[in-house]
Amino acid sequence: MRNEQLLLKSLFSLASMVEARDPYTGGHLWRVSQLSRLMAQAGGLAPAEVARVMVGGFLHDLGKIAVPDAILNKPDRLTEQEYAVIKTHPSVGHRLLSDHPLAALALHAVTAHHERPDGAGYPHRLSGTDIPLDARIVGVADAFDAMTSTRPYRRGMSIDQALGIVAECLGSQFDSHWGKLLITLGQQGVLDHIVGYSEPSIPLQDCPACGPIVVIHRHQVDSSLVYCRHCGGELKLLRSDGQIKLMPTGAFGDAAALQPAVEHEILDELVGLARTCLASDTTIASQSV
């Protein structure tokens, strides 16, 4: 069991490094994993299935390792050719995972999270319940987080606005069953502690100089120095009465300060939550909920 936990953490670490390439997507993997977990729980899946869906949510974008930085970080909408490159990431993720000992935990979520019920998705234009269960859940969570997150070309939407779009696209872009569950959870306020956060109780911050997301971690205490990985600016972290503020120092980080770091504490927590699927048969479920 210990070896399986280490293998899973290595996958989580790799996914974290892939995410760190894009300063606008800080915390995306954690949010998608938690949204997927909440939806799976609300849908009555068994604990091992809930854990597997959560793992798939965190690993779903592994294939973006092959997307060039110029496309991944483009501060404008993508051209048709650039979008075609982005659309290769599920297939790349499949190749990365296919021979891994824990591939069954995430392969469907990685490969099929951009498929759509109406068959207009990618990479295989699957439709309806031909789309694996895990991918149907993660696909809804991924799109919802994308809508509620700030991107180079737009600010993030409100929860209500994003839920409205999900409601309009049920049965076409989003699985009706899981999309309705997300809407219900959102209307109940169950998602409020996830949207706009990078880990529990840590809200995302804007860089005062350039705007992109600065991710703060729980181990960073008052007066810690943090760095924007977009502009390189040095910022002093100010914590007061549960609030977080960033104060520019006027300095810039060196190469060591700007390199991404693996946040072992949160990854260990995710591995702990995933123990039920590691302890059970890891064969991907074929049920169609």
What is the mean pLDDT, run by run of 10 residues, along the chain of 289 residues? 88 94 89 98 96 97 95 88 97 95 95 98 97 98 95 87 98 98 98 95 91 88 93 94 92 93 91 86 49
What does each C-alpha distance from 214 to 29, 127, 233, 234, 260 come to in angstroms?
A: 15, 37, 10, 11, 12
- Identify whether the C-beta of residue 147 lies closer than 8 Å to the C-beta of residue 162: yes
CA distance 66 to 89: 7
pLDDT (0 to 100) of residue 1: 54
Question: Quick one: which of 119, 4, 99, 91 has its CA closest to 51?
Answer: 4
* Model pTM score: 0.94
pLDDT (0 to 100) of residue 233: 96
pLDDT (0 to 100) of residue 134: 98
CA distance 10 to 1: 14
CA distance 53 to 33: 8
CA distance 100 to 232: 36
pLDDT (0 to 100) of residue 240: 87
**Crossing angle of helices 47-59/28-42, nearest 10°?**
160
- C-alpha Rg value of the chain to the nearest Å: 19
pLDDT (0 to 100) of residue 74: 85
pLDDT (0 to 100) of residue 284: 54
Q: Give the single-character DSSP code of 1.
A: -
Evaluated on CA atoms 12, 15, 20, 26, the torsion sign reads negative
Q: Is 64 an annotated catalytic residue?
A: yes
- Quickly count helices (H) and strands (E) in the chain: 13, 7
**Which residues lie below 8 Å from residue 64, measured CB to CB, with a gap of 6+?**
18, 21, 22, 72, 86, 89, 92, 93
pLDDT (0 to 100) of residue 46: 95
Neighbours of 285 (CB within 10 A): 18
Question: Quick one: which of 83, 93, 97 has its CA closest to 113?
Answer: 93
Block residue for tokens 């994993």: 33
Helix/strand/coil for 214: strand
pLDDT (0 to 100) of residue 285: 47
Question: Torsion angle of alpha carbons 8, 11, 15, 16, nearest 10°?
Answer: 70
Question: Quick one: which of 38, 46, 51 has its CA closest to 193?
Answer: 38
Residue type for 250, please?
G
pLDDT (0 to 100) of residue 277: 86
Q: Where are the beta strands (DSSP E) in the chain?
A: 197-199, 202-203, 205-206, 213-214, 225-227, 233-240, 243-252
Helix/strand/coil for 187: helix
Q: Which of 64, 74, 236, 245 is catalytic?
A: 64
pLDDT (0 to 100) of residue 128: 96
